[in-house]
A = this chain, B = another copy of it.
Amino acid sequence: MMQKSRSSLVNDAYRRLKQEIRSNRLPPGFHGTEPEMAERLGMSRTPLREALVLLEADGLVEMKPRRGIYILPILPQDMKEIYEVLTAIEPEAVAVLAARKLSEAELKPLIDATARMEQALDDDDLEAWANADDEFHKELLILHGNKRFLSIASLLFDQAHRARVITLRMREKPYRSTAEHKTVVEHIIKGEIEEARNVYREHRERAGAELLAILAKYKLQQL
């Protein structure tokens, strides 16, 4: 899922396609065929297909027999599911970190991420904010150390990325969200397990509800 090498061309195709899907250059609903995609990537169908098989397992594309490759949209139902999983996993991770009584030095990645979130707010740079937010969530699970937590969350973040980017501009500025992240870090530092867990869980639940409300309000049935 996230090893260093693999044969290069397969890896190249996987990374490039994933990036193009994330950035919406290959938008949901996009349809292609193997020969044309292989040509575009400058390789034969063999490594492309191996990459596509992986992207399909990641839930990003669908290979319809005899009909070609489709970039899958994110539906509100998908976002609901994704937030449910994150709500189950991340508060747990936070509680474990709090129980571990980590030093501020060890928590530096999280503290830095919150600082960058604040800076981004000051700069009114939503994209920077979103990147810092991603960073926070990733570092949190790296600190926890359960590789499966991390790979599951990474997969879900990849799936949700487009929807998050788009809705970021439709909601109020994430002051509250930023503050909540800081509060969570405080609780972790103080070793306040249940407080950390609860703040984070509420953060997740509210963030998910907000996002679904936006999708409903703007009738965004797929992204």
User: Which one of B57, B81, B88, B92 contacts A1 once the chains associate, using CB atoms below 8 Å?
Assistant: B57
Q: Is the CB of B81 within 8 A of A92?
A: no
**Is A5 among interface residues, defined by CB-CB distance under 8 A?**
yes
**Is A82 among interface residues, defined by CB-CB distance under 8 A?**
yes
**Is A46 among interface residues, defined by CB-CB distance under 8 A?**
yes
Assembled-state Cα–Cα distance A50/B45 (Å): 12
**Is A89 among interface residues, defined by CB-CB distance under 8 A?**
yes
Assembled-state Cα–Cα distance A89/B148 (Å): 13
Q: Is the CB of B84 within 8 A of A149?
A: yes
What band does the interface of chain A fall in when counting residues whose beta carbon is under 8 Å from B? 20 to 34
**Is A87 among interface residues, defined by CB-CB distance under 8 A?**
yes
Neighbouring B residues of A85 by C-beta, 8 Å: 89, 146, 148-149, 152
How many copies, total?
2
Assembled-state Cα–Cα distance A53/B5 (Å): 13
Mask of A128-166 contacts with B, CB within 8 angstroms, 1/0: 000000000000000000111100100010000000000
Neighbouring B residues of A84 by C-beta, 8 Å: 92, 146, 148-149
**Is A182 among interface residues, defined by CB-CB distance under 8 A?**
no
| A193 smallest CB distance to B (angstroms) | 15
Assembled-state Cα–Cα distance A47/B88 (Å): 36
| A–B Cβ pairs within 8 angstroms, 8 of them | A1-B57, A6-B63, A10-B53, A82-B148, A84-B148, A85-B149, A88-B88, A88-B92
**Is A179 among interface residues, defined by CB-CB distance under 8 A?**
no
